[in-house]
Amino acid sequence: MPSPRYFINHFMPFTGYPYKGAPSACNLCGSTESVVVAESDRRLKVLRSIACEQCGLIRTDPMPTVPELADYYATAYRADYQLAFAGGPPPHHLKRSAREAEFRASLLAPKLTAGARLLDFGSGSGEFLAAARARGCEVIGVEPGRDYAAYARTHHGVEVLDDADDATFAPASFDVISTHHVMEHLRDPADVIERLARWLKPDGVLYAAVPNMAATGKPPHERFHFAHVHGFVRDTFDLTARRAGLVPHPDYWREDTTVVYAKTDAPVPALSNPGLAQRLAAELKPMPPAAYLASGAWIWPMVRRNAKAVRDTFVSK
């Protein structure tokens, strides 16, 4: 069970997270110029996010180091985020995941034909792998969350690797690659998208989805979370794909940062979005704290999240 210090470190508003981090250059364009877009996260904890002045990609600053992120996932992620769950994923997660998998499978239906080779990068509890296999695909997953990977192997009988480096798959191995809400967790999302693009056949498609940081309808700071070290909007997501030689496929539905990409031979344009960082800083500007507290908008998210954390911590067996 997590210690009292754990709760202070991870839930006490107006204090920072237990990490030091290090300054980082933009993973998409390499620039070190930036604009601050947020100073706190959805728990009202201190967490600075910046947007790259050149391309607009949002990242945590300072960026957690590799060991700090590993430590976070090993100790805090379970209670914080309810993904790596002792004894396997909870029923409400499986329900939501099955619904999402069916949606993704219908979107990609034209490519999910008998014998098509499919990789799900960040395959979680395996529902999408199972849905694609049911359509005749040869499927494989990559999932570093051990409990979830084990669940996928046991309950869906699918092959899941713990991790994958560049050499794990030969270039042009897959007809379809999908990655659902993974890139925002990575320190190097632009490099990983390039790797996925290399593994894709010339006529293959990449389904990629991340949270849209420009989404309206919730207070700006609600979009920030310690586990999300990068933040995308439509422009920066497309530019990340573009750097990897990918463009949105015109035949597929898209919504902001849920996109099906195809390969292109066209040269990569300049990796810049003039003015985007400033626009994001204005859009994501937090409400003044007094107005936010008076609005009551914090009550429901706080109840919901704390209920989740308590359930994760005490009712996991």
Alpha-carbon distance 106 to 89, whole Å? 24
Burial of 222 (0-12, 13-18, 19+ CB in 10 A): middle
Q: How far is the CB of 22 from Zn ion (least distance, A)?
A: 17
Q: How far is the CB of 72 from Zn ion (least distance, A)?
A: 24
Closer CB to Zn ion, residue 26 or residue 182?
26
Residue-wise burial string across 6-34, b where 16 or more C-beta atoms lie within 10 A, e elsewhere? beebbbeeeeebebebeebebbbbebeeb
Alpha-carbon distance 197 to 165, whole Å? 13
Q: How far is the CB of 298 from Zn ion (least distance, A)?
A: 32
Helix, coil or strand: residue 206? strand
Q: How far is the CB of 243 from Zn ion (least distance, A)?
A: 10
Closer CB to Zn ion, residue 199 or residue 232?
232
Closer CB to Zn ion, residue 26 or residue 262?
26
Closer CB to Zn ion, residue 34 or residue 97?
34
Q: How far is the CB of 261 from Zn ion (least distance, A)?
A: 19
Q: How far is the CB of 233 from Zn ion (least distance, A)?
A: 13
Applying CB under 5 A, the residues found at the interface with Zn ion are 26, 28-29, 31, 52, 54-55, 57
Closer CB to Zn ion, residue 101 or residue 193?
193
DSSP class of 183: G
Q: How far is the CB of 169 from Zn ion (least distance, A)?
A: 28
- Supply 238's token pair: 């497309």
Inter-residue contact 46 to 14 (CB < 8 Å): yes
Closer CB to Zn ion, residue 26 or residue 152?
26
Q: Which residue has the tokens 């990977």?
A: 149
Q: Who's near 74: CB < 8 A, 6+ residues apart?
A: none
Number of alpha carbons in the 13 Å side-chain half-sphere of residue 119: 28
Closer CB to Zn ion, residue 31 or residue 65?
31
Alpha-carbon distance 197 to 260, whole Å? 12
Inter-residue contact 6 to 76 (CB < 8 Å): yes
